[in-house]
Amino acid sequence: MLLSRYFLPILKENPKEAEIVSHRLMLRAGMLRQEAAGIYAWLPLGVRVLKKIEAIVREEQDRSGAIECLMPTIQSADLWRESGRYDDYGKEMLRIRDRHERDMLYGPTNEEMITEIFRSYVRSYRDLPLNLYHIQWKFRDEVRPRFGVMRGREFLMKDAYSFDVDAEGARAAYNRMFVAYLRTFDRLGLKAIPMRADTGPIGGDLSHEFIILAETGESAVFCDRSLLELPIPAADTDFRSDLSPIVSAWTEPYAATDEMHDEAAFSALPEERRMSARGIEIGHIFYFGTKYSDPMRARVTGPDGQERPVHMGSYGIGVSRLVAAIIEASHDDAGIIWPDSVAPFDVGLVNLKPGDAVTDEVVDGLASRLEGAGLEVLQDDLDQRAGAKFATMDLIGLPWQVIVGPKGAAKGEVEIKRRATGERQALGLDAALARLVQGRAR
């Protein structure tokens, strides 16, 4: 992609409304524009990151055996009257009346709708276990939206819903999502720690939040430092096997948000293992048994021929919030540092002298070879001074920069820079290409 044909509206000034670094950097890097309080348009650089995160979330949901569906954003109020949540939900629910004066709402979550879908088709334990997920926009009419997409009103969420014949099956479903979440966040370059959580308005018996540590985190968290060193379950993990040993390994060490914090238990840890920090919630999983299936009569026949309400869980990942969370966890004074897996482009290819025939030729040749090798390249062909070009590249945080000037080009040499470390290296064209292709493969 040529920068001259792209749409990357970089801001030179720090936007005053941005209180946290991710919001500031997303605005400055031309990723985002606010359209109303807590409602954002994703500009091209932002969409690319959002779609990559979405793809990784989807892959790991699929791997775990969950099946994708797609529920609408607008729901009928009647569904929520059945569960009793229509009145409970309060002003955070965006209520709508359509042209025929029917009460509708913009879904803040989908427990009711998925339960309605389930009960319409499934009758027998033989069709279980079942886990249906979707990745869809939600709306919560926060009284004071802020921090950009970290706490927006319209946001993209992956929500999955599991259905099992009994509590034991539901626990296995919970474990599958637990492991899928560990893998998902690891692939996004995040150290996420599962913490026992309050079940809140979704209700239920068992719940974990997945939390990343970041100075700007919304809540205080306390955990055993050994959690930072635990291995992530491998890609070939058998999701039909018993995953409870993995879940136990991740849940036995102490970890809690401030609401659930037990100071006595925490103090019992050796001092060097006690870690207290700020955290950002990026995922939340719940087992809530028959809370929805009871009132909504979602029932299946068991092996004994008896009908019973199905056991359910729900499992959320804040997809749009993750864009901000990743930036909170990975940036420096110069800008964003994208993990390779979600970077909007793999390589920023900087032409220091557009119009110079030799430089242009080297840059164009390198771009097509990199793209031929499957890398995504943003080629800076603008007529700007070098300092501005470098500042833009550092700000938008692509994993690799390749800098081509007329002197180097004449010798067939370019400079490559790894954004995360700042390490620079002058290399011949073939060596540079090999390094970047290899860098991408990691």
Out of 111, 116, 346, 380, which residue is the one contacting a copy of itself (CB under 8 A)?
Answer: 116
Indicate the SS3 state at residue 3. helix
Say whether residue 318 binds a copy of itself (CB under 8 A).
no
Q: Which stretch binds a copy of itself (CB under 8 A): 16-24, 81-89, 136-144, 337-345?
A: 136-144
CA angle 288, 290, 292 (to 5 degrees): 90
End-to-end CA distance of the chain: give it in Å, rounded: 23
Give the Cα separation of 399 and 380 in Å (integer): 15
Of 194 and 344, nearer to a copy of itself (C-beta) is 344
In the complex, least distance from residue 73 CB atom to a copy of itself, rounded to whole angstroms: 6
Give the Cα separation of 255 and 194 in Å (integer): 7
Say whether residue 341 binds a copy of itself (CB under 8 A).
no
Give the closest residue to 219 by CA, choosing from 276, 146, 147, 283: 276
Q: Which two tokens stand for residue 403?
A: 């800098």
Give the Cα separation of 353 and 359 in Å (integer): 7
Out of 117, 172, 232, 431, which residue is the one contacting a copy of itself (CB under 8 A)?
Answer: 117
Out of 80, 106, 185, 287, which residue is the one contacting a copy of itself (CB under 8 A)?
Answer: 106
Out of 14, 19, 74, 374, which residue is the one contacting a copy of itself (CB under 8 A)?
Answer: 74
How many chain residues interact with a copy of itself (CB under 8 A)?
52
In the complex, least distance from residue 418 CB atom to a copy of itself, rounded to whole angstroms: 27
Out of 63, 65, 216, 395, which residue is the one contacting a copy of itself (CB under 8 A)?
Answer: 65
Give the Cα separation of 306 and 71 in Å (integer): 30
Give the Cα separation of 297 and 118 in Å (integer): 10
Per-position x/- string for 144-183, each x denoting binding to a copy of itself as judged by CB under 8 A, each - no binding: ---------xx-----------------------------
Q: Which two tokens stand for residue 97?
A: 């009346």
Q: Which two tokens stand for residue 224?
A: 């055993």
Say whether residue 441 binds a copy of itself (CB under 8 A).
no
In the complex, least distance from residue 183 CB atom to a copy of itself, rounded to whole angstroms: 20
Q: How many CA atoms lie within 13 A of 308 on its CB side?
A: 16
Give the closest residue to 77 by CA, choosing from 89, 69, 59: 89
Per CB under 8 A, residues contacting a copy of itself are 5-7, 9, 33, 35-36, 39-44, 46-48, 50, 65, 67-76, 91-92, 94, 96, 98-99, 102, 104, 106, 113, 116-117, 120-122, 130, 132, 134, 137, 139, 141, 143, 153-154
